[in-house]
Amino acid sequence: MSPDSVIEPVITDSKVGFELLAKQLVEGTRLGMHRSPFQGSSSEFSEYTAYTPGEDTRFLDWKILARTDRAYVQKFDDETNLFTHFVIDQGRSMHFSSSSPETVPQVPSKFHYAATTAATLGWLLLRQQDGFSLTLVDEKLRDHIPESTASSQLSRICTRLDTAAESLASAPPSSLHETTEDCLQTVLPFSSSLTTLPPLIGQRRLVVLLSDFLPKVSLSTEERTTVFRESRHAIATLQKAGNEIIALQVLDPAERKLETLKKAGFLRSLATKQEFFVNSQSQAESYRQAFLEYQSDLETLFADLGVKHLMLQTESSLLAQIQPLFE
């Protein structure tokens, strides 16, 4: 199957705003909303209570009345609208794409794919009359748009995502961060930022993390222990506030297949943009092993914490990949 048949071509057009992308992706599809983690307001049966004269007879259980000659009323608990909070990593590695001018079809950057994902899910939430909010982070919290159920919320958030994509894509490498320290050093590039979120987003929210979750290629045993401990603490802080967490890991094909490493004599750092010479074959095998071990540890971390983890591949269909969220 060719890439053209699995990736929505509209996602690769960086000139199209995220709101329009979301609309074009959602309209005309039959993306099921049943059994979804994105549930809207409803009423759930709670208990039976004895009927008191004057109560609304619409909630009488007529079957019990006919069988026992006693009147009971069905009580329901109203569920509030679910608010979803999107946390998007805008660190340097998220602006990577393995596409070249000759690549057909073009593969969007990881940030572009993550932003399109958030906009698409936001569009679906508005259809359910549910609210959502957005936080952009790297090693620090960079921007926050409070939650709202207003129809203008999607436009507000998409405008902010459009601005972020344009400014970060055009910024020189040295100005993307205050230092040259790469935020890929932690399992969650924004783990320190996550601990500051509860006061901003409140309690009992669905928090959707969108990141590549990539560390340095090589981590010592001590570093690995430290970063996973910090990440566990960051997620647990959110969970203690009654929030449910979904981790959507956005990866470029080159990061998973690693074929480009075998062909390259020079590699460019995603953090500093500096090039350095490597032994392609040995470096590819080393990277491959480190990547697989890291992915295994990351999946174990999420599983231990009860976090739903999906990998989103930037060269593949978005709607097909987020379908498990609605099953």
Summarised one tens digit per residue, pLDDT across range 242-289 is 899 999 999 998 888 765 544 555 555 554 455 555 555 666 677 778
How many CB atoms within 10 Å of residue 114? 27
Q: State percent of the chain over pLDDT 90.
A: 23
Are residue 53 and residue 169 in the same domain, yes or no?
A: no
Look at residues 24, 51, 79 and tell me which one is the last residue of a structural domain. Answer: 79
Are residue 155 and residue 167 in the same domain, yes or no?
A: yes
Are residue 186 and residue 311 in the same domain, yes or no?
A: yes
Are residue 218 and residue 89 in the same domain, yes or no?
A: yes
**How many CA atoms, within 13 angstroms, populate the side-chain half-sphere of residue 243?**
29
Are residue 156 and residue 286 in the same domain, yes or no?
A: yes
Q: The CATH number of the domain where 99 resides is what? A: 3.40.50.410
Structural contact between residues 204 and 243, judged by C-beta atoms closer than 8 angstroms = yes
Taking residues 133-160, what's their average pLDDT?
91
Are residue 269 and residue 320 in the same domain, yes or no?
A: yes
Query: Which domain range does residue 197 map to?
Result: 3-36+81-326
Are residue 94 and residue 29 in the same domain, yes or no?
A: yes
Structural contact between residues 131 and 147, judged by C-beta atoms closer than 8 angstroms = yes
Determine phi and psi for 85, rounding to 5 degrees: -115, 120
What pLDDT does 7 receive? 46
Are residue 56 and residue 170 in the same domain, yes or no?
A: no
Helix H or strand E encompassing 45: strand 42-50
DSSP output for 189-217: TTHHHHTT-HHHH-SS-EEEEEE-----S
User: pTM to 2 decimals?
Assistant: 0.74
Residues present in the chain in total: 327
pLDDT tens-place string over residues 60-70: 888 887 888 88
Structural contact between residues 314 and 114, judged by C-beta atoms closer than 8 angstroms = no
Are residue 197 and residue 316 in the same domain, yes or no?
A: yes
pLDDT band at 209 (very low <50, low <70, confident <90, very high): very high
Tell me 83's DSSP state.
Answer: P
pLDDT tens-place string over residues 14-40: 566 777 767 776 665 545 444 445 544
Taking residues 100-118, what's their average pLDDT?
84
Split into its structural domains, the chain has a count of 2
pLDDT at 182 over 90: no
Are residue 118 and residue 46 in the same domain, yes or no?
A: no
Instruction: Give the mean pLDDT of the chain.
Output: 75
Are residue 179 and residue 312 in the same domain, yes or no?
A: yes
Are residue 72 and residue 150 in the same domain, yes or no?
A: no
